[in-house]
Amino acid sequence: MTVKANTQIFLNYVDGEWCESISKEVIGNESPSNTEDVVGSVQKSTRKDLEEAIAAAKSAKKKWGNLTGNERADYLYKAADILESRLEEIATCMAREMGKTLAESKGETARGVAILRYYAGEGLRKVGDVIPSTDSEALMFTTRAPLGVVGVITPWNFPVAIPIWKSAPALIYGNTVVIKPATEAAVTGAKVIECFADAGFPSGVINMVTGQGSVIGQGLADHPDVNGITFTGSNKVGRQIGQSVLARGGKYQLEMGGKNPVIVASDADIDLAVNATISGGLRSTGQKCTATSRVIVQSDVYESFKDKLIEKVREIKVGNSLLDETWMGPSSSEGQLDTVLSYIRKGINEGAELLIGGERLTGGDYDNGYYVQPTVFEGVTNEMAIAQEEIFGPVLALMKVNSLEEGLQLANDVEYGLSASIFTTNIKKMLTFINDMEAGLVRVNAESAGVELQAPFGGMKQSSSHSREQGQAAIEFFTAIKTVFVK
């Protein structure tokens, strides 16, 4: 897009300074709720800009790594306080920039504050164990060393929480960071980095370079001075990053897609299951890797579940993310909207029956944004694209089964394994589901989306690099264990 004259321009943050890219080019971001609302523009950086950021992070790492956890924690607490004081403004920016409703954007920003405080607390928690040696005169224990420079590559769907849940543990465990936020949400990302900058982190400890994934993201993945890469995004890009980092012997962590099922058993609380399916599948316009997309319902409750679901979906108010009455905002971009509409067409062409939705919303203010109706299909079979591929949109696929065993078999018959829910009041069914479901997050009588910051998060199968982030699990990626023997 052409950048308007009065658009606010956000700079890169390198070695403690806000600076322009040497390209002198910027990328403008317009709101998917109303494309006339230009949120701001960010630097279209080059590999040279990235080189400078990596060099700054490299030269800062020794001093930062040598601080005590307690000293590093002070900076994180300060960043949390600043983010909290700017919550309203940053949440509004997020809602404008990527279309999440204002209420959800505020919730996510508050979560960012809580994550910063949680990881600040990590600065005073234990990092190792004493292990009995076979030598009675020796002391053996483990401690941990930071990786060094960590590259953080983030998506647009959680522009505050994901950059923070990757950067905060990296920093508290003594690493320095170069972050490349998703361009589609990089103005929000820049505001988050302003909070770190204003907290007074020493120069070079945290750096941000915006720009194209193929240039800046790939540049981070390829760079020999970047010791670890943590990524959230699509499987296609994640795999490519994993291969690049592996090829040069670096460490990587990938959080990727999901095709998350909800199983509704015959003894489920149907109202609870309906509400959770709607919240898990359609909040954030279905743009969560943990979003519900397959709804597997036992035949004896299928019709009553379906009727209640459709009735509730019909009530959903789609609109501008900034309006109080909006329950669901737009797709985050034109490309994302096109992807969703193309999956809806595929569903119809492959023989699924459209129960509600299926169209782009048009007329009035809708014409200025990328709005799609919340959509529900039935008669979905497992070989259809809408049953197998991540849509990242407000599309639910209903599938009828005769038993829990059949439901579980369907639920597991995809390449992904991120999150999954069951609705049942039967303890035996719960336990079978917990044991047999191939997913990193297994939830009972709760929606598939929504993670708690103090608990490990990550997927099985193709959903992740088999690592976990968040909670104390983060220490495994961001540090290396040293086994120490003293005599």
Ligand X SMILES: O=C(O)CCC(=O)C(=O)O
Within residues 389-428, the interface with ligand NAI by CB under 6 A covers: 390, 392
Residue 188 makes contact with ligand X by CB under 6 A: no
CB nearer ligand NAI, residue 240 or residue 426:
240
Single out the residue of 43, 109, 210, 218 in contact with ligand NAI (rule: CB under 6 A): 218
Residue 158 makes contact with ligand X by CB under 6 A: yes
Single out the residue of 64, 156, 252, 305 in contact with ligand NAI (rule: CB under 6 A): 156
CB nearer ligand NAI, residue 120 or residue 177:
177
Residue 257 makes contact with ligand NAI by CB under 6 A: yes
Nearest-angstrom CA–CA distance, 123 and 71: 8
Catalytic residue among 255, 378, 389, 390: 255
CB 237 within 8 A of CB 269: no
Q: How far is the CB of 111 from ligand NAI (least distance, A)?
A: 15
Residues near ligand X (CB under 6 A), total = 9
Nearest-angstrom CA–CA distance, 234 and 390: 9
CB nearer ligand NAI, residue 233 or residue 281:
233
CA nearest to 168, candidates 470, 484, 481: 470
Distance, first Cα to last Cα, the chain: 66
Q: How far is the CB of 212 from ligand NAI (least distance, A)?
A: 7
Q: How many residues does the chain have?
A: 487
Single out the residue of 58, 166, 288, 429 in contact with ligand X (rule: CB under 6 A): 288
Using CB under 6 A, which of the segments 63-71, 198-206, 288-296, 420-428 binds ligand X?
Answer: 288-296
Residues 363, 364, 369, 373, CA torsion sign: negative
Nearest-angstrom CA–CA distance, 185 and 94: 7
Provide φ and ψ at 61, rounded to 5°.
-70, -35
Nearest-angstrom CA–CA distance, 393 and 285: 6
Residue 153 makes contact with ligand NAI by CB under 6 A: yes
Nearest-angstrom CA–CA distance, 371 and 390: 19
Helix (H) or strand (E) holding 396: strand 395-401
CB nearer ligand NAI, residue 264 or residue 441:
441
CB nearer ligand X, residue 200 or residue 335:
335
Single out the residue of 232, 244, 320, 333 in contact with ligand X (rule: CB under 6 A): 232
Single out the residue of 182, 309, 372, 410 in contact with ligand NAI (rule: CB under 6 A): 182
**263 pairs with which residues across the strands?**
296, 422
Q: Quick check: is 303 catalytic?
A: no
Nearest-angstrom CA–CA distance, 146 and 61: 9
Token code pair at residue 177: 């960071």
CB 293 within 8 A of CB 281: yes
Three-class DSSP category at 54? helix
CB nearer ligand X, residue 281 or residue 330:
281
Within residues 432-461, the interface with ligand X by CB under 6 A covers: 449-451
By the criterion CB under 6 A, which residues form the site for ligand X?
157-158, 232, 288-290, 449-451
Catalytic residues: 255
Residues in contact with ligand NAI by the rule CB under 6 A: 153-157, 180, 182-183, 213-214, 217-218, 221, 232-234, 237, 240-241, 255-257, 289, 336, 339, 390, 392
